[in-house]
Amino acid sequence: MPLPIWILTGPTASGKTDIGVEIATNIGAEIVSADSMLVYRAMDIGTEKPSRAVRNKIPHHLIDIVEPWEEYSVGLYVKDFDAVTQSLYQQGKQFIVVGGTALYLKAIIDGLFDGPPADWEYRNYLKAVALEKGPNYLHTMLSEIDTETARKLHCHDQKRIIRALEVFKTTGQRISSFQTQFGHKNPNYHCTLVAIEYDRDILYQRIEARVDRMFMRGLIEEVRTLSSNPSGLSRQASQALGYKEIIDFFNGKYTLSEVSDEIKQRTRRFAKRQMTWFRSFSNIHWIHASADSDTTRLSEEIITYFTQNKPVSKETM
């Protein structure tokens, strides 16, 4: 029997963290994170990581599990996710998955292709090609070797286009010929997926407020401390929203006011890409939030949907 999984997602700044805590409190559940940046220790402000007090009240999993200089991949996440959820199931504990990293969610829902390791030299070459000739060029390259995968990927989905080209270069096979990420369900889980959405203008206001809050809480000091560590930051960590721009600020690329605006703009673009990903998921249920929606009302609506569509209890999990 597949393990029933409740998933709460939504774009950055949609309030899913607070709503997830409210849901967990109401139903006596624990939280399993599906956020690629919350795995890193000491990256707290720029990720708006749940506070230690919150995590002491509601157990959270897959947060603070690697150092910021260590590499972490979706393949490692899936292994950790499987181990955590199976352990919770065996203990009879209820849990909810909360996070907005679309690739992590895709791997949970549809399974994961365990392909060859990253070829960073080739990836950097392809990024340079895309920068020079535009994203459509890489998409055309992929179309010539793997029409099926190219048809399923937007021309601006550079990360996955590069991965598909990389797999072909490394193995000589099309990623679509042996990949389970597209069009197949993970047999280990039965997922019920809810996503929070806002009208664009409201979401953008929330994003601006979030970035302002990060600066007020000490984002610059946090990045300075992380950057001063002799071990540095991993490739993934150094590219995280807010962190990359502050590092560029340290290097003189931006003024203080410019770096704030850059983070806001990049976050808006990221939220737009997230929404594109979420809309590609089948059987996703959207909860529309407005400027005056409160956490309690949204959490109650989401709990109602979860319980009506896939009841989960300590006895039936």
| Domains defined for the chain, CATH in brackets | 3-112+183-309 (3.40.50.300), 120-177 (1.10.20.140)
Of 284, 303, 310, 312, the C-alpha closest to 26 is 303
Contact call for residues 39 and 50 (beta carbons, < 8 A)? no
How far apart (Å, rounded) are the C-alpha atoms in residues 249 and 256? 7
Give the total residue count for the chain.
Answer: 317
Q: Which residues 6+ apart lie within 8 Å of 81 measured at CB?
A: 32, 34, 62, 104, 108
Tell me which residues of the chain have a pLDDT lower than 70.
113-114, 178-184, 310-317
From CA 302, how far away is CA 1, in angstroms rounded?
24
CB 160 within 8 A of CB 183: no
Q: Which two tokens stand for residue 173?
A: 């096979």
Q: How far is CA 13 from the centre of its chain?
A: 12
What residues are paired with 79 via a beta bridge? Answer: none
What angle (nearest 5°) sits at the alpha carbon of residue 244, between those of residues 238 and 248? 125
Q: How far apart are CA 132 and CA 135, in angstroms?
A: 9
At residue 133, φ and ψ (nearest 5 deg) are: -110, -5
What's the pLDDT score for residue 311? 43
User: Model confidence over 152-206: pLDDT tens digits?
Assistant: 888 888 888 998 999 888 888 788 776 544 445 788 899 999 999 999 999 999 9
Q: Which residues contact 278 (CB under 8 A, 6 or more apart)?
A: 9, 10, 11, 102, 195, 284
CA distances from 75 to 25, 72, 158 (A): 30, 8, 19
- Predicted local confidence at residue 98, as pLDDT: 98
Phi, psi of 126 (to 5 degrees): -65, -40
pLDDT of residue 317: 43
